Structure 1
Amino acid sequence: MRYIKYAFLAIVAPALVAVAVANRDIVTLTLLPSGLAALAGMNQAIDLPLFVVIIAGVAAGLLIGFVWEWLREFRQRAESARKDREIKELKRQLRRLRAEKHAGEDEVLALLDEAS
């Protein structure tokens, strides 16, 4: 598994460097379109290399997707946790009932009785 991870990084790293070198021109990001900025009376802008904008967009998309999926799967995780609690409780009850059933018996006879 470790070698697969290194192979993946060996493929992705040069690709990211190639994107960065090919898109190093400076672009201006503005918060609002010019017409809306004139109405609002503010125009926030920042100058960044294009590859930073591209990589930040991909990272933001991944983050939003992970959060969306985590929220979507909440019901399944809650159901799984509920079933785990129920299984633990049933195992506890089973141990208690087995101990009560074989309370005064010999341990070897109790084991043979459980096996049959």
Structure 2
Amino acid sequence: MKAIRYGFWAIVGLCLIFVGIANREFVTVKAMPTAFADFLSISPTIELPLFVVIMLSVGVGLLIGFLWEWVREHRLRSDGRAKAREADQLRKEVDELKKAKASAEGDEILALLDSPTR
């Protein structure tokens, strides 16, 4: 299974290298449209190789997607934490009831057997 995983990542790496080699020419990246830049009389531009622009765009897209998914699943995580707290509370209550029942019956051996072994 590890060989398949390493093979897959090797193919992905080769594809990224081929994209980088094929797109080495420099391009001008502008931060705002020309009309707006002329209106403000500033024109923030930078020249980068095209493969850098492509890789940065993919990386920023992944980060935005991960952030979006993390925010979307907030409700599920908070529900899970609430259920875990409720389960812990119920476990403690059951343990207390077992101890109370055993002490009411007066049998110490049964009380030891019923107690949790944590």
Q: 1:105 aligned to 96, 104, 107, which one?
A: 107
C-alpha root-mean-square deviation of aligned residues, in Å? 1.9
Query: Secondary structure in 1 aligned to 2:84?
Result: helix
1:71-110 deviation per Cα after TM superposition (whole angstroms, max 9, x unaligned): 0111111011000000000000001110111122042587
Contact 2:99 2:111 in 1 (8 A): no
What is the one-letter code of the residue matched to 1:33? Answer: P
- In structure 2, what is the equivalent of residue 35 of structure 1? 35
- In structure 2, what is the equivalent of residue 86 of structure 1? 86
Deviates more, 1:103-112 or 1:26-35: 103-112
Question: What TM-score do you get using the length of structure 2 for normalisation?
Answer: 0.87
When the two structures are aligned, how many residues end up with a matched partner?
112
- In structure 2, what is the equivalent of residue 6 of structure 1? 6
- Percent identity for Structure 1 against Structure 2: 41
What is the one-letter code of the residue matched to 2:5? Answer: K
Residues 109, 62 of structure 1: alpha-carbon distance in 2 compared, 3 angstrom cutoff: closer
- In structure 1, what is the equivalent of residue 73 of structure 2? 73
Residues 51, 109 of structure 1: alpha-carbon distance in 2 compared, 3 angstrom cutoff: closer
Question: What TM-score do you get using the length of structure 1 for normalisation?
Answer: 0.88
1:28-76 deviation per Cα after TM superposition (whole angstroms, max 9, x unaligned): 0011111110001100010000000000000100100000010011111
Q: Which runs of 5+ in 1 are unaligned?
A: none
Residues 109, 34 of structure 1: alpha-carbon distance in 2 compared, 3 angstrom cutoff: closer
